[in-house]
Amino acid sequence: MEIKVLICMGTSGLSAGAEEVARTFESELKRKNLIKKCKIIRTGDRGLFRDTLVDIITPDGRVTYEYVKPEDVSKIVDEHLLQGRPVKRLQAGKDYKQFFAGQLRIVLSNCGEINPEDIDDYITHGGFNALKKVFSMVPDKVVDEIEKSGLRGRGGAGFPTGLKWKFCKNAKGDVKYVVCNADEGDPGAFMDRSVLEGDPQSVIEGMTIAGYAIGATEGFVYCRAEYPLAIKRLGMAISQAKEKGFLGKNILNNEFSFDITIKQGAGAFVCGEETALLASIEGRKGMPRPRPPFPAQEGLWGKPTLINNVETFANIRHIMMKGAEWFSSIGTEKSKGTKVFALAGKVKNTGLVEVPMGTTIRELIYGPGGGMMKKRIGLKGVQIGGPSGGCLPESLLDIPIDYESITQTGAIMGSGGMIVMDKKTCMVDMARFFLNFTVAESCGKCVPCRVGLKRMLEVIEKITEGKGKKEHINFLHEMGITIKNTALCGLGNTAPNPVLTTLKYFPNEYQAHIKNKSCPAHVCLELLKFEVIKENCVKCGQCYKACPVGAIDWKKKEYPKINKEKCIKCKSCINACDFMAIQ
């Protein structure tokens, strides 16, 4: 058996020095005359974003190393590969095991396991078997299988995928298109990027199956230019698929032809909306248009167009190989399969997590997430669904993750962003942050979004500055509802969510900012007094150590004192204090 050395080299791994680790492995294996016995496989990232991960697979089993540095490589080669003794000091610990223990990896099954730049590796892992199977079926049967599976679009809205395929297939027109929406613009979301970096062929296979099913011969992947590695590997995957006969004319000697083109976006968040995305592909300014007609009837250049996102297409090959019943057995009654989440914030383990629909938010945080980073501070809530999502309190963490349950809370599933917040998070400031983002990213085409969001942001900013008034609460609520009901596209329809959900679930924080002119989380700068709360202080001196200008006087077993003349209000002391003893 050939020994395999897997090195995670997606964006996360490369930023941590994975390329140098790989080169060091190559030189060490040559030096020890092991290069012919070992195969180095440069994979995408596995989802747990930390320093370079390396797996050694031998006849004795698989060992995972974490935080691997170039200087560690010789020890791994000498002790593990030559002497058969894994290096315990470098082996992945309980956090790594916990992160993956509760996951069911379907979309991410190849990420961190195959070389995304080698199509043969994908084929070895069952790649394109689904496409081969599909060619033995009539297109109607393919569409029926996707519809029976219960797969819903993973881009945010959750529209039934099979139904969308059926609409597009039955639409009148000799020319049809398939579009993959990879314009992942949510802050902190990187699901699409990781799939394109770690398993781009799965998206190509899914799009090609979709093209066969609806009668399209051309496809586009709309990917933001900020994803250079994803674009590079997707381009390589397309070229290799053409060489192998999985793309192009008469695929696998069948009468069906299909080709894919990459279109790079310029980073406009609104181009994640499907009609704005189509306008951008056509070379026009990325601005949404009213619907109907929907893209399935009139899309690119007025032709019927099927649009799904990366995660949706990555599911297709698994459904076609294992069957609709298999997929529909996972998840809940109305939300089938798994969902990939970008877990971030104040948890021990951050990264991409794929779990069955119906998993609770609490199970996600305290399972793969490993719980709170600092238990002493405690959990306050979760922001789910990206900048247009909602902020939910701890009391709602036991709701199942499915489209209906999340929507009932006032939040949305979105593309899968999830930020865990502790008690040092100001919910008013959090609402301000996301509203500021959507105001900046609004295309400005419709008045509710262009003007209404701006007015909401101005009021939120006044509240965080201690200039809030009682009537501002009603204004924010009424304006938010009005924008949701009248905005042209999904950006405006959902942008007020962070404000509306924080008003609903965290009203006391708004009252504290307006009535008491104080920020309970000690975040809003204009409301901070920079004074020590003796009732909370444990005299640990962490604030003294953190102050960059020496504005804090402290001695052991004494309360610290802040010299306000020296203080520059940088909040280093507040950030360093786990007891919230500085206001």
DSSP annotation of 562 reads: E
pTM: 0.93
- Domains in the chain: ranges and CATH: 3-92 (3.40.30.10), 119-328 (3.40.50.11540), 338-422 (3.10.20.600), 427-514 (1.20.1440.230), 528-583 (3.30.70.20)
Residue with tokens 């976006």: 265
- 4 CB-contact burial (10 Å; exposed 0-12 / middle 13-18 / buried 19+): middle
Q: Which two tokens stand for residue 533?
A: 């709360």
- Give the span between the Cα atoms of 358 and 98, in whole angstroms: 19
56 contacts 5 by C-beta, under 8 angstroms:
yes
Length of the chain in terms of residues written:
583
Residue with tokens 């290069």: 35
Banded pLDDT at 155 (limits 50, 70, 90)? confident
Q: Could you tell me the sign of the dihedral formed by the alpha carbons of 108, 110, 116, 122, in that order?
A: negative
pLDDT at 413 (0 to 100) = 87
Which residues neighbour 14 within 8 Å (Cβ) at sequence distance 6 or greater?
229
Helices and strands: H and E segment counts in the chain: 25, 15
- Segment 291-318 shows an average pLDDT of 96
pLDDT digits (tens, 9 = 90+) for 56-112: 999 989 999 999 999 999 999 999 999 999 999 999 999 999 999 989 999 999 999
- Segment 355-368 shows an average pLDDT of 96
Banded pLDDT at 186 (limits 50, 70, 90)? confident
Q: Is the pLDDT of residue 341 over 80?
A: yes
Q: Is the pLDDT of residue 290 over 90?
A: no
- Segment 15-20 shows an average pLDDT of 95
Which residues neighbour 480 within 8 Å (Cβ) at sequence distance 6 or greater?
456, 496, 499, 500, 503
Q: Is the pLDDT of residue 1 over 80?
A: no
247 contacts 235 by C-beta, under 8 angstroms:
no
pLDDT at 229 (0 to 100) = 97
pLDDT at 324 (0 to 100) = 97
- Give the span between the Cα atoms of 544 and 548, in whole angstroms: 9
The CA-based dihedral angle spanning residues 143, 261, 339, 12, taken in that order and rounded to the nearest 10 degrees: 160
pLDDT at 550 (0 to 100) = 92
Q: For the chain, give the mean pLDDT.
A: 94
pLDDT at 375 (0 to 100) = 83
Alpha carbon of 300 to those of 268, 269, 274, 402: distances in Å?
19, 19, 10, 31
Q: Left (φ > 0), alpha (ψ -120 to 50) or beta: where does 283 sit?
A: left
pLDDT at 583 (0 to 100) = 87
Q: Which two tokens stand for residue 509?
A: 């924080």
Q: Is the pLDDT of residue 50 over 80?
A: no
Q: Report which listed range, 51-60, 144-153, 178-187, is most confident.
A: 144-153
10 Å Cβ neighbour count for 462? 15
Banded pLDDT at 490 (limits 50, 70, 90)? confident
Strand partners, 340: 354
pLDDT at 189 (0 to 100) = 84
Contacts 24+ apart (CB under 8 A), 83-91: 84/58, 84/60, 86/56, 90/65, 90/66, 91/63, 91/64, 91/65, 91/66
Q: Is the pLDDT of residue 414 over 90?
A: no
Q: Is the pLDDT of residue 431 over 90?
A: yes
pLDDT at 185 (0 to 100) = 82
Q: Is the pLDDT of residue 39 over 80?
A: yes
